[in-house]
Structure 1
Amino acid sequence: MGKFLGIPEDISGSKCKLFAFLKDYLMYRVNGWTGRWLSKGGKQVMIKSILLALPTYVMSTFLLPLEICENLDSAIAQFWWSSNPPKKGIHLAKWEKVCLPKDEGGIGFRLIHEFNLALLAKQLWRLVQYPDSLVARVLKGRYYRMTSPLRAASARGPSYVWSSIFAARKLLLLGIRQKIHFGYEVKVWEDSWIPTTPARSATPVAPVMNPNMRVSDLINQESK
């Protein structure tokens, strides 16, 4: 099958074989720079501006297999630590530590798998923010007709696009909470509405008598 905007038209079969072209693209760029004597600063710019940007468009739509993510991380790490091309160089620290933010002692590179989940979580958030968009209406009619995308149950035989977006739901829920407004739509025991980090639902100290209790039931309607 062909490709449309750099994405394969047929998303079936082995996903590792399907997305192997990403590593080929990345290695083509890396091999073009291997013979050059780049400083660490030059390599840092190359990695952040080009290598980590190559798979961004695909990762914003599909969840890459862990094997592909590890292969991409390995290729970038090998390029970073190599000193005398084509020697591999000595890896002086774990790649996970190198990818930490600068204020935590790292350099600020991105781990491919975590970056992939972050991009997919952004797509899921767009479905919440823009429910009238074409893609949101299509997915709603198929996967969460009577609820929101954040509360949708796992579907039977879903498309790979929806499976990828659905995989980022846990990550998105770690960083959001319900707005109260009048409290009629916020469930006390289920929704994350208490502004802790991360947000959480109320914790009962006794058996819950009313599992569908809303936050509006806790508000004095006279004094607000």
Structure 2
Amino acid sequence: MKIVGKYGKASGQCINFDKSSLLFGKKIAVNDRQQIKDTLGIQNEGGMGTYLGIPEDISGSKCKLFTFLKEKILHRVNGWTCRWLSNGGKEVLIKSILLALPTYVMSSFLLPMEICENLASAITQFWWSSTPPKRGIHWAKWEKICAPKEESGVGFRMIHEFNLALLAKQLWRLVQYPDSLVARVLKEKYYRLSSPLRIAAVDNPSYVWTSISAAKKLLLLGIRSKVHSGYEINVWQDPWIPSTPARPA
């Protein structure tokens, strides 16, 4: 509460405790929960709402948790009159709206393959159908449509691969900016004596950290270590030889 008070004085922002809520883990006893509520002056328990479009409670079945993404896309698609749109118009709507809707969520969480397939199915249905929600004839595979235009594709994003690319960007930021607040918090919890690219298995990690760690293989394909003094280089394992792709000695 002292920290909260200092924050309020420094920022000039007052916290409304009547509108605030606490989210407890499953292992917190009932008596402890009530004691924490009384100490903080917050009696509401949260976890069922959303913040910035993301569910507060990231637990349980991830497929059920991220179902709202497909519902958002279907809500947009069903509100558009496809019969008046050319293929070019559909392409613009898909790239600028449908594929952009889940981007914020995908930058922090790894979506299950089932959710990725459901999102791709909703987008392909909009692409091929002239009267949604009726299903049109699919004249080409989704992978073919997602190929670059130079390879006779349309250039749509592969949702799972794009998800991994966004998570790899987050992991790269932890490497590039180790003094940032989020990097220092994650370092103390998951890789205190190592680096985010060399960590082993972690006991009971959060879903955010599990998602970021899933992009490590992708990131390692495109980076190499700088030698400098050589003190931090593991000569026989780190990809420090500047070949294509980079490789260890």
1:156 aligned residue: 203
2:143 aligned residue: 96
TM-score normalised by structure 1 residue count: 0.87
Counterparts of 1:130 and 1:198 in 2: how far apart (Å)? Answer: 24
Q: 2:95 aligns with which of 21, 29, 48?
A: 48
For 2:172, what is the secondary structure of its paired residue? helix
Letter in 2 for 1:95: W
Task: Name which of structure 1's ranges 38-47 and 77-86 shifts more when overlaid on structure 2.
Answer: 77-86
Counterparts of 2:81 and 2:218 in 1: how far apart (Å)? Answer: 36
For 1:154, what is the secondary structure of its paired residue? coil
- The Cα offsets for residues 20-46 of structure 1, whole Å up to 9 and x where unpaired, read as 000000000011114542101000000
Counterparts of 2:104 and 2:133 in 1: how far apart (Å)? Answer: 30
1:124 aligned residue: 171
1:133 aligned residue: 180
Counterparts of 2:175 and 2:75 in 1: how far apart (Å)? Answer: 38
1:5 aligned residue: 52
C-alpha RMSD over aligned residues: 1.3
2:3 aligned residue: none
Name which structure has the greater RCO, CA cutoff 8 Å, separation 6+: 1
Change (3 A) 1:99 1:41: same
1:215 aligned residue: none
Letter in 1 for 2:156: F
Counterparts of 1:146 and 1:27 in 2: how far apart (Å)? Answer: 46
Counterparts of 1:148 and 1:47 in 2: how far apart (Å)? Answer: 38
> Percentage identity across aligned positions?
77
Change (3 A) 1:12 1:130: same
Question: How much has 1:154 moved relative to structure 2?
Answer: 1.7
Counterparts of 2:206 and 2:134 in 1: how far apart (Å)? Answer: 43
| Maintained 8 Å contact 1:30/1:79 | yes
Question: How much has 1:84 moved relative to structure 2?
Answer: 4.5
1:178 aligned residue: 225
Task: Name which of structure 1's ranges 162-171 and 94-103 shifts more when overlaid on structure 2.
Answer: 94-103
- The Cα offsets for residues 71-105 of structure 1, whole Å up to 9 and x where unpaired, read as 00011011111135454221111101111122232
For 1:181, what is the secondary structure of its paired residue? coil
Counterparts of 2:126 and 2:88 in 1: how far apart (Å)? Answer: 13
Give the number of equivalent residue pairs. Answer: 202
Counterparts of 2:74 and 2:233 in 1: how far apart (Å)? Answer: 49
2:73 aligned residue: 26
Letter in 2 for 1:174: L
Alignment of 1:170-209 (within 5 A): 170-202=217-249
Counterparts of 2:64 and 2:133 in 1: how far apart (Å)? Answer: 27
TM-score normalised by structure 2 residue count: 0.78
Structure 2 alignment gaps of length 5 or more: 1-47
Q: 1:63 aligns with which of 92, 110, 113?
A: 110
Structure 1 alignment gaps of length 5 or more: 203-224
Letter in 2 for 1:128: V
